[in-house]
Structure 1
């Protein structure tokens, strides 16, 4: 079934140029109108056919890296150019439309994140021993990238640089109200309040972060 769907999909998509595909069983198929320099690929894993149909954006790259999709003369640019130019011409297949619909539906299901689940996700990631975070974070546990203005900056200084840079970018002035959604352990909020005079409300779903903040 997958072989037939794969063949139909490629015949719908590759209409100009020449693509030669050697299948896992050793058979060879040609697609396109025969013009241009032929591009040949070899599929070495039968399971790859199903994967390419269900999620080509992911599995083309993975298969190229792990060697289950071999491009003759390693002509990656030629292969991508051929496929993308055909897609740009509006060539698509019914299989693609079904695939896109299923992936959009699955994305909606995966992204459904009610409060209970969101809290559980946060707890799984952040409600761990504070001793763990003390091993690799700065004093107030900034969890995002630091700003090293100099190679000699320590992590503590780089995180202070970051918070000061954020305050300048936001043009924080005394009395301003700031809502920090996902405030972590409250380090940025405390800085904006103590050093810039802002009135900060931090929101976190993590019990452990709330204890510290």
Structure 2
């Protein structure tokens, strides 16, 4: 055991100065990692070095995962400047790997990212870490984002959306459900299939909106058109979806043509600030888009939805929120490699801005547990399609998505994030035109039954 080996050495600096420094780097790396991990529990994981040396889990603990140090400089990349970005980049750049449960490993990642060097640790280990080789094998396929313009301006928002969503339509097709719904599913059972749960979510949204044949529906941030198509097919509405992603719009419009629904729905590349004003919509929905708006732009966002909606209509706003007191950002790694310029706000902030616009809050529902389940489905499907994904977009992009979705699954499971559906009404002379109860939302057990 590495712990027993460490106890035989009176001082780390003496080990580091031996003639076997180069050949014994794996031992020294494990020694430093043991010190950095300290009292972290449960230590239900192993650590394996590039030369095969292994530090086994704590006695009596099952092995949930193995942290793999891929080369002699791996520990420098992971721990020399501890931060979420450093941990994420060490994984993306193939300095480290995780075999087994990556979601469980994110707890260790957060711990290492938040650990700060003591003066004693820095004096003992800092110089040694700094001297480790800095060369990093390139995983390829993903570079940190570089945006131009003012934050949340129309031009910069388009760049941010393109960075994430224009990765490749085929890439998303490989691990999303058959309708390519890139948002929280709605599960009736823990073991339910993703396709079924996503269809149930689409139908649940339509029921919350109480769609009727002939009504006009606007979907802000429509993705690949899953909800637009479902609403037109099952509920007989006329639907318009908007997105800033050229690739999403292209595929969504192709799907509309393919299913013979061009007379009832269309997709436009359009910013939410420039909505069509020919005539108001009966219902408006936005799923997974408000996170990209930014807190300062929430008044503009709700004002745009208000203008687009007829008096007496309803707006369903679905988005991820953070807890009160959190910074609201999604972390440096997420901002650099996944969702640039994204911002999470507490539920009460979103509701306050909606009410200031004039909306009445009629219903709020948390789908937190459903999102954790959804993300786990996505991670498993992503991992099973590894070889095809790497061919399409490169190993680096695969690693970014695997890490971000596993970490988010953990965050939703632990209650660090939440996702809310908020039903808002635009009153007409004080009336909401809504039923007294929610009974009609649950009138059938099977998705797609209207």
Task: Give the TM-score of the pair, scaled to structure 1.
Answer: 0.48
Q: Which has the higher helix share?
A: 1
> Which protein is bigger by CA-based radius of gyration?
1
